[in-house]
Structure 1
Amino acid sequence: MPRTESIIYELHRRRVFRVALVYIVSAWVAIQVASEAFPGLGIPEIAIRYVWLGAILGFPIALVFGWFYDITAQGLVRTPPAGRNRDTGLALRKWDYGILAAMSLVLAATTVQMIERIRSIQPLDKIVDGDETTIVAPSRDGSVDAVSDSKITVAVLPFADLSPESDKQYFADGVHEEIISRLSTNRSLDVVSRTSVMAYRNPTANIRLIGAELGAGAVIEGSVRYAGEKVRVTAQLIDTSNDTHLWTRSFDRDLTIANLFAIQDEIAEQVAVGLNTQLQIDKIALPTSDLVAYDSFLLGKYHYRKSTPDDLLLSVQHLEAAVQKDPEFVDAWDWLAYAWNHAGVQQVWTTPAEAYPKARAAAVRALELEPGLAPSRALLAFLRAVYDWDWEPALLDLEWAAKADPTNSGTVWSYAFVLSLLGRHDEAIRQVESLADLSPEKPRLRQQVAYRLNDAGRYLEAIAAGEKALELGADAGQIEELLGVAQFGLGEIDKAIAHFESAIKLRGGYPDSLGQLASMYARKGYKGRARDILAELENRRSSSHISPVILAQIHTALGETDRAIALLEEAVDERDRGVLGVGQSLFFEDLRSDPRLQQLVTRIGLPMSL
């Protein structure tokens, strides 16, 4: 028998043709599943190439397996060698030729599909530099595709925490925030705000939909793995118009501050290259060289943003640990000042007499290290107003700070708040509206507009602004409370009660909401319910600080004027921030004719009514 016929006979006898056909069909199915499923699961399209590679490399392995082994009713057995008395004239049957034809067709179709897919996603250039791997998708003319010739909008989605214990989300959030900050200095890009993208942590929608919702032509996804003394940061840039990955990069480095910030700079630079924009990113000095201090700083920011009393306590503790570790850590001092200030407002585990002086000391230290730091200067001016009651000089300082940094929300809000306290409502509203108009997608900016409209007695406009903020993603509990105040201003007590009840459910029995609800109950005639809430709040005072102003609201609604005035005098002595608005507050309207309230407001140095 000629050699060729002998080989074909053996392939037939050992069922290699059948193995090849089954393998090709199975590989084709696997590739189809990967092509459809990977984009929806957020797996980079480059992974589909590896499925192809695995299928190609596995083919000869399958053929070798089919040559030596056979699957029978008794299980996997080794194919015996051909017998000496075999029929050397055995010809291939018709179905053998059918198998060969089917194999040829499937192989041809698969090859064509592979070529088309490669053309559609474009070949990727892979650059290896030490421990880093960059994969870039060039355009057909050799340069990297740009999403648009005009200014490009980029959204950086929250980075995932892939650390072994899944306990480093705060660290991943820190990397995410710094990348947004670095990209924001590139004047060729519009970068979607951190507040707007936080709703897309662990997104279920596909990239095209996310891009449409955020108005972004490109999206950056990433992850951080922080383990021991090593850090791995992975990022990928995706064109939202076609869900194509423009580049993917992984960084494996020793965990140092210098390496971490270098990674963040390089990601920002690669985004600029990937979008074919001019590189306009300014280098910045490292905030600290101490990794432990930086870790504590990120934890402090993480808890500060949660804003619950327990989180604020943790925030203060972590930020104090950061400045103890590195006394020249400017950003940590600045955030510590704001954390103490916020704690002084909440008054759960601290008092204004403790919190505000500590906030001032931290802000002073930050300014000693960096005299031009506008947020700390603004906070000092704010404390001069709300704690020292030195209104006009404080207002001048706040005006300077707002002009020096007109996009800093904390500074502008502080300035507007003091303007409202002084009865200059139109100016206050203009300040917060101008800021909100710069970033209309940010819910908290629109929420501040609603607050200042409430202060001005423009309740219908406040309701519209509050509902818009809620639509944008503002805290529902805070908005319900805001809407309750507006409805009370309109004389809609039943609607106000419904909003305050909803706020309590959402905020977990927050004292301000409870006091407002009890005040509404008393005005509605439900005095038993009002006294139940009053008793609950009085009981809480034995273990945590409850503002006397909250209790005074309830006593005023119950007609217990003497007790209300006594509580307000206590609040003045404590420098409680809540007492600053009593001269204009709807909740104390029944006391405005009382000379004792007028004396109190005069002592504070603020106007008496709207």
Structure 2
Amino acid sequence: MLSAGFIVAVVFSWIYDITPGGIIRTEPLPKQKLPLINKKVKTYRFTTFVSVIIIIGLLSFNIIDSASARKIEKIDKTIAVLPFTDILPIKYESIVFDYIGNQITAGLSKIDDFNVLPWRSTKNFRKGNKDYVKMGDEMDATILVDWKAIEIEGEKRLTIEMIVAEDEKILWSNDYSIKNSWTEISVISTEISRNIARRLRTFLSLEERARINEIPGSPTALYNAYRGRSIAQNALYLYEMGNRKTDLSDFDVAIDLYTQAIQVDSSFAEAYANRAVTRLWGIYTTHYSGNELEKCLEDIEKAKSIDSNLIEADIAMGFYYYYGKRGFDNALKYFQQALEKDPANVDCLFYLSLVHRRKGNWDEVAELSSQALENDPASALFYINIGTSYDYLHDFEKAIECHNLAIAILPEWPA
């Protein structure tokens, strides 16, 4: 409306004059009275005309851009980072590209206005020949972040696309050059998060900006720790699946990777805390003896000395009492402490439900299990344990639902 009115005003000012007697049409001067139009006057008129066109264009663009911005602001910002499904280069393990997706997800999760689906849920999603509309429906996500990792003659490039699932419209895309190693994604993910927030018209508070920019360790250390965590979790899964004869030496491999991470970055607090958790899982599975408890406590205290507010340290202390000391009240205390720092942390909800189940507090088990399901734990281990809790509660309908979800995530799981 503003640009249209401006055009009308300009046209009318050229055709009509305002006089004491009212608005009258501008009459042309007789030919003999016409002044000579020199070059400067022509230039002036041309410049004025161009300026008017530019102003009209800017006003129109501003109106269109504002309408587009309002439309984007109304989009439900439930985001899913899609898994890498291209053919892997021979020299790389799949965990390298699993790590890239994890880091992109972790970066976006630091923005309060975004509801980012957990990576452990989306990484197992099977794309097949599905289009983005079907993928959005199946994942219950409105925005999909797809990506490709390409390496040609030693040059690495990461291409990111943000897509509206409903109409498959690409809202934003960008290429990122990787100088040396794919582990540099831990640094690049901060820029990806800022760019996506900007495109979605999301204002970032100073606290959010600080969270996005905070990288807990060096790229190499972060990747080694991620590998260690993945290997340890897999070993625990195999044990929980009932395979008591499985080779639990993977716990040794995981601990070695955490140690390598700490050697690269001695201030990497999470690596200390998660190394303690891995040892405690080893004690639970009887791979390690109780003599390892002292090392666990040393790692937890070291992590807290680096970051006194570290959630992973609280979780590690909860496991220290749950698996190591059988002090269930203290275990509840530390798991609850971690949950208070991050109320949506599904891991803490799950761990609390396990301790309450051990103590026979079934009302608490039911409430915590329900909250965990609402937060989409996306873990076969979690679902099978929550399902078992519902078995004890004689809520067999929910128990079957959880066991089915466990099977869907991990078909070989004997749920």
Normalization by structure 1: what TM-score? 0.49
In structure 1, distance between residues paired with 2:123 and 2:183: 26
Look up the SS of the partner of 2:319 in the other structure: helix
Q: 1:215 aligns with which of 122, 126, 140?
A: 140
Determine if the alignment matches structure 1 residue 141 to structure 2 residue 64. yes
**Which one of the candidate residues 277, 280, 283 is aligned to 1:341?**
280
Q: Is the 8 Å Cα contact of residues 222 and 236 (structure 1) preserved in structure 2? A: yes
Partner of 1:413: 350
Which residues of 2 match residues 112-127 of structure 1 at below 5 A? Answer: none
228, 234, 241: which one aligns with 1:306: 234
Q: 1:420 & 1:203 partners in 2: Cα distance?
A: 40
Q: Give the match for residue 463 of structure 1.
A: 399
Q: Which of the residues 168, 171, 184 maps onto 2:109?
A: 184
Separation in 2 of the partners of 1:377 and 1:277? 32
Report the Cα distance in structure 2 between the residues aligned to 1:227 and 1:260, rounded to whole angstroms: 18
Letter in 1 for 2:366: I
Closer, same or farther in 2 for the Cα pair 1:233/1:304, shift >3 Å? farther
Residue correspondence of structure 1 range 571-582 to structure 2 within 5 A = none
Q: Which residue of 2 aligns with 1:402?
A: 339
**Structure 2 counterpart of 1:141, one-letter code:** I
Q: Which residue of 2 aligns with 1:90?
A: none
Task: Give the Cα–Cα distance (whole angstroms) in 2 for the partners of residues 227 and 311 of structure 1.
Answer: 33
**Partner Cα distance (1:293, 1:300) in 2:** 11
Aligned partners of 1:224 and 1:233 also within 8 Å: yes
Q: Higher relative contact order at CA 8 Å, sep ≥6: structure 1 or structure 2? A: 2
Classify the secondary structure of the residue corresponding to 1:337: helix
The 5 A counterparts of 1:461-540 are 461=397, 463-470=399-406, 473-478=408-413, 480=415
Instruction: State whether structure 2 residue 310 is matched by structure 1 residue 381.
Output: no
User: Could you say what secondary structure the match of 2:177 adopts?
Assistant: strand
1:301 aligned counterpart, secondary structure: helix
Question: 2: CA distance between counterparts of 1:398 and 1:269?
Answer: 32
C-alpha distance after superposition, 1:478-537 (max 9, x if no partner): 452xxxxxxxxxxxxxxxxxxxxxxxxxxxxxxxxxxxxxxxxxxxxxxxxxxxxxxxxx
Q: CA deviation at 1:444?
A: 5.3
Letter in structure 1 aligned against 2:80: A
- Look up the match of 1:296: 224
CA distance, structure 2, for counterparts of residue 221 and residue 344 of structure 1: 40
Amino acid at match of 1:429: A
Q: Is the 8 A contact 1:447 1:474 kept in 2?
A: no
Aligned to 1:284: 213
- Mapped to 2, the partners of 1:272 and 1:408 lie a distance apart of 22
Q: Which amino acid aligns with 1:264?
A: S
Shift of 1:437: 1.9
Seen in structure 2, the aligned counterparts of structure 1 residues 203 and 258 have a Cα distance that, compared at 3 Å, is closer
Q: What is the CA-CA distance between 1:198 and the residue it aligns to?
A: 1.5
1:344-395 deviations in Å (ceiling 9; x for gaps): 2333xx2242554443332222122111112322321332243223343443
1:366 to 276, 279, 303: 303
Tell me the CA shift for residue 156 of structure 1: 0.7
Counterpart CA distance in 1 for 2:182 and 2:119 is: 22
1:53-110 deviation per Cα after TM superposition (whole angstroms, max 9, x unaligned)? xxxxxxxxxxxxxxxxxxxxxxxxxxxxxxxxxxxxxxxxxxxxxxxxxxxxxxxxxx
Secondary structure of the structure 2 residue equivalent to 1:209: helix
Distance 1:175 1:257, change over 3 A: closer
For 1:410, the aligned partner's letter is D
- Partner residue of 2:79? 154
Q: One-letter code of the match for 2:213?
A: I
Which residue does 1:527 correspond to in 2? none
Instruction: Give the match's secondary structure for 2:124.
Output: helix
- Residue-pair matches, total: 338
Cα drift, residue 413 of structure 1 = 2.6
Bigger-Rg structure (1/2): 1
Instruction: Report the residue type matching 2:271 in the other structure.
Output: A
User: Displacement, 1:225?
Assistant: 4.6
CA deviation after TM superposition for structure 1 residue 311, in Å: 4.1
Task: Give secondary structure in 1 for the equivalent of 2:188.
Answer: helix
1:319 aligned to 247, 253, 258, which one?
258
CA RMSD of aligned residues (A): 3.4
Q: Secondary structure at the match of 1:211?
A: helix
C-alpha change, 1:325 and 1:405, in structure 2 (3 Å) is same
Corresponding position of 2:241: none
Conservation of the 8 A alpha-carbon contact between 1:258 and 1:286:
no
Using the aligned pairs only, state the percent identity: 17
CA offset at residue 342 of structure 1?
A: 2.2
Q: Name the structure 1 match of 2:270.
A: 331
Residue 148 of structure 1 and its aligned partner are, at CA, apart by: 6.2
Q: Which runs of 5+ in 1 are unaligned?
A: 1-137, 481-610
